[in-house]
């Protein structure tokens, strides 16, 4: 064997061996980075939830294309499209509050079935409204949007509350990654498929297919076992239950800061509202480039989901979560500074990567630090915050754009995200040092004191 460059040509002595780097002795295997499918292999219930959620996301993606298109065709008004969206958002917000209460007081499986069955009715009404001779009635579209938003949130909240019980605690990051993966697959593929269905067979067929997919998911989740909420909160009054859920969500050393961190990300690191203006005024592109940039976050998120195998072995989950949101801020800052379309696409892909990592880690922390008896209410708070925060974020960056331009608004949003993450890291040591809890017994000392009513209930049980 010929000596390497710089060698003396002599065989090295026993004391001349250079130390072998750790990454050579113990290389990182590609399989350890790939998404962990353990929850799908070991839990029948999680498989049902995974498939049902994937199918329902595709159905909702089809509807997300058809509904605004139909409203615009009928009215020619973007304002009308916005009001339908607002109607749905208000209904979702109301429904999540009701669903959170119900999910902690009864059979969560029943709520999931009601939510999916309601989608059959709502999309069926849209199909009939479209296929009936004559022009579709606008009021039916508004009514269906409100109906689907309210009852659809039942299944979303109940699934979030029930799903953590289907897998061991050490598999919560893997479960979060799989749920994020099917969400990203739906967001990438469903709009394109929905548009293709409309182009080939028309708007009515799109709604018919969506209703049939909803029927399929209803039959699928019907196969879940009964999912009764813990008995602790069933005897509480509604006022006491609301107070306890709110007190826990706000006062918990990990859950409270998690909610604040999510709000920061939605307020300042959600640039989709400015993509059209940024493409037109900064990049000089047209509709084709707009569509490409809209897909970029989903591409990054899909890559993040597929390479999330490391998440289940992470120990400093809180610190990694803060890093992921900081990456989102840097990506938005870089997007605002971009003047070349490939750079803009790259930064949006980084944004999607950071968002999905945040989603996986946040899911694992939120579910492991929340007692099962409170999961319905806490997940309802998170869902409601996402609904309101998304709209508030669009208003925040959209309001800055007329003052400092689209690029300036994006750079300001990215900078505010980074500064806010730093402030939260300093202010909340519980978030900075948070980890996924493997032992449910540690929950008793991890949160705020229990409510008096709850303490009394537990004392009575101990006496018995």
Q: What is the number of domains present in the chain?
A: 2
Q: What is the mean pLDDT of the chain?
A: 82
Predicted local distance difference test score (pLDDT) of residue 455: 40
Q: Say which residues have a Cβ less than 8 Å from residue 104's Cβ, sequence separation at least 6.
A: 161, 229, 230, 233, 241, 245, 373, 374, 375, 376, 377
Whole-angstrom distance, CA of residue 416 vs CA of residue 419: 5
Is the domain of 202 the same as that of 258? no
Is the domain of 175 the same as that of 246? no
Residue 379: count other Cβ atoms within 10 Å of its Cβ: 28
pLDDT tens digits along 331-368: 999 999 999 999 999 999 999 999 999 989 998 999 89
Predicted local distance difference test score (pLDDT) of residue 220: 94
Q: Give bridge partners of residue 228 from the DSSP assignment.
A: 107
Is the domain of 223 the same as that of 246? no
Whole-angstrom distance, CA of residue 167 vs CA of residue 218: 22
Whole-angstrom distance, CA of residue 25 vs CA of residue 82: 58
Predicted local distance difference test score (pLDDT) of residue 26: 45
Q: What's the half-sphere exposure (Cβ side, CA atoms, 13 Å) at 129?
A: 20
Q: Say which residues have a Cβ less than 8 Å from residue 463's Cβ, sequence separation at least 6.
A: none
Mind giving me the DSSP string for 398-456?
Answer: HHHHHHHHHHHHHHHHHHHHHHHHHHHHHH-HHHHT----S-GGGGGGTSSPPPHHHHH
Of 386, 255, 264, whose CA–CA distance to 328 is shortest?
A: 264
Mind giving me the DSSP string for 180-202?
Answer: HHHHHHHHHHHHHHHHHHHHHH-
Predicted local distance difference test score (pLDDT) of residue 23: 38
Is the domain of 134 the same as that of 282? no
Burial label, 288 (beta-carbon count in 10 A; 0-12, 13-18, 19+): exposed
Predicted local distance difference test score (pLDDT) of residue 426: 96
Q: Say which residues have a Cβ less than 8 Å from residue 76's Cβ, sequence separation at least 6.
A: none
Of 76, 87, 97, 222, whose CA–CA distance to 157 is shortest?
A: 97
Whole-angstrom distance, CA of residue 39 vs CA of residue 174: 7
Domain hosting 207: range is 38-229
Q: Is residue 165 part of a domain?
A: yes
**Which whole number is the average pLDDT over 7-30?**
44
Is the domain of 378 the same as that of 251? yes
Is the domain of 88 the same as that of 195? yes
Is the domain of 270 the same as that of 417? yes
Q: Are 449 and 254 in contact (CB under 8 A)?
A: no
CATH number at residue 48: 1.20.1250.20
**Which whole number is the average pLDDT over 45-63?**
89
**Which whole number is the average pLDDT over 121-126?**
96
Instruction: Write down the pTM of the prediction.
Output: 0.73
Is pLDDT at 247 greater than 90 in this prediction? no
Is the domain of 386 the same as that of 349? yes
Q: Is residue 120 part of a domain?
A: yes
Is the domain of 214 the same as that of 326? no
Q: Say which residues have a Cβ less than 8 Å from residue 390's Cβ, sequence separation at least 6.
A: 266, 270
pLDDT tens digits along 414-457: 999 999 999 999 999 999 999 988 765 555 445 554 443 344 33
Q: What percent of the chain has pLDDT over 90?
A: 38
Predicted local distance difference test score (pLDDT) of residue 29: 58
Predicted local distance difference test score (pLDDT) of residue 16: 43
Of 196, 229, 262, the last residue of a domain is: 229
Is the domain of 252 the same as that of 132? no
Is the domain of 150 the same as that of 290? no
Q: Are 269 and 397 in contact (CB under 8 A)?
A: no
Q: What's the half-sphere exposure (Cβ side, CA atoms, 13 Å) at 114?
A: 17
Of 229, 261, 281, the last residue of a domain is: 229
Q: Is residue 105 part of a domain?
A: yes
Is pLDDT at 22 greater than 50 in this prediction? no
Is the domain of 225 the same as that of 244? no
What is the SS3 assignment for 107?
strand
Whole-angstrom distance, CA of residue 248 vs CA of residue 464: 27
Predicted local distance difference test score (pLDDT) of residue 191: 75
Q: Say which residues have a Cβ less than 8 Å from residue 93's Cβ, sequence separation at least 6.
A: 384, 387, 388
**Which whole number is the average pLDDT over 106-112?**
90
DSSP single-letter state for residue 104: T
- CA 376 vs CA 95, 157, 204: distances in Å: 12, 6, 35
* Residue that wins the pLDDT comparison between 364 and 242: 364
């Amino acid at each position: 064997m010929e000596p390497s460059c710089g060698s003396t040509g002599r065989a090295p002595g026993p004391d001349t061996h250079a130390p072998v780097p750790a990454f050579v002795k113990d290389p990182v295997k590609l399989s350890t980075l790939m998404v962990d499918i353990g929850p799908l292999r070991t839990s029948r219930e999680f498989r049902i939830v995974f498939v049902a959620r994937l199918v329902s996301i595709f159905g909702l993606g089809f509807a997300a294309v058809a509904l605004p298109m139909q409203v615009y065709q009928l009215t020619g008004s973007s304002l009308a499209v916005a009001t339908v969206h607002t109607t749905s958002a208000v209904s979702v917000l109301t429904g999540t509050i009701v669903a959170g209460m119900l999910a902690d007081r009864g059979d969560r499986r029943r709520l999931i079935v009601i939510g999916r069955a309601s989608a059959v009715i709502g999309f069926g009404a849209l199909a009939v409204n479209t296929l009936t001779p004559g022009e579709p009635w606008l009021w039916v579209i508004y009514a269906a949007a409100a109906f689907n938003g309210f009852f659809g949130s039942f299944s979303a909240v109940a699934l979030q509350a029930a799903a953590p019980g289907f897998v061991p605690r050490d598999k919560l990051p893997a479960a979060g990654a799989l749920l994020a993966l099917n969400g990203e697959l739906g967001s990438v593929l469903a709009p394109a498929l929905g548009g293709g269905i409309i182009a080939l067979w028309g708007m009515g067929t799109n709604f018919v297919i969506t209703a049939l997919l909803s029927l399929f998911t209803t039959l699928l989740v019907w196969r879940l076992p009964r999912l009764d909420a813990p008995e602790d909160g069933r005897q509480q009054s509604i006022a006491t239950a609301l107070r306890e859920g709110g007190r826990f969500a706000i006062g918990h050393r990990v859950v409270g800061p998690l909610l604040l961190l999510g709000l920061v990300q939605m307020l300042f690191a959600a640039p989709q509202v400015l993509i059209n203006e940024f493409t037109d005024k900064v990049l000089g592109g047209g509709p084709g480039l707009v569509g490409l940039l809209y897909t970029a976050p989903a591409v990054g998120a899909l890559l993040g989901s597929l390479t999330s195998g490391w998440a289940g072995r992470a120990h400093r989950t809180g610190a990694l979560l803060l890093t992921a949101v900081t990456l989102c801020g840097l990506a938005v800052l870089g997007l605002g500074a971009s003047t070349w379309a490939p750079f803009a696409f790259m930064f949006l892909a980084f944004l999607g990567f950071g968002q999905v990592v945040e989603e996986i880690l946040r899911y694992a922390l939120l579910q492991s630090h929340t007692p099962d008896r409170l999961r319905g209410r806490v997940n309802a708070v998170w869902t409601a915050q996402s609904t309101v925060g998304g709209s508030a974020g669009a208003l925040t960056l959209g309001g800055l754009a007329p003052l400092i331009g689209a690029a300036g608004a994006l750079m300001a949003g990215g900078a505010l995200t980074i500064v806010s993450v730093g402030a939260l890291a300093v202010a909340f040591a519980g978030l900075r040092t948070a980890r996924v809890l493997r032992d449910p017994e540690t929950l008793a000392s991890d949160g705020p004191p229990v409510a008096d009513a709850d303490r009394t209930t537990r004392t009575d049980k101990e006496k018995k």
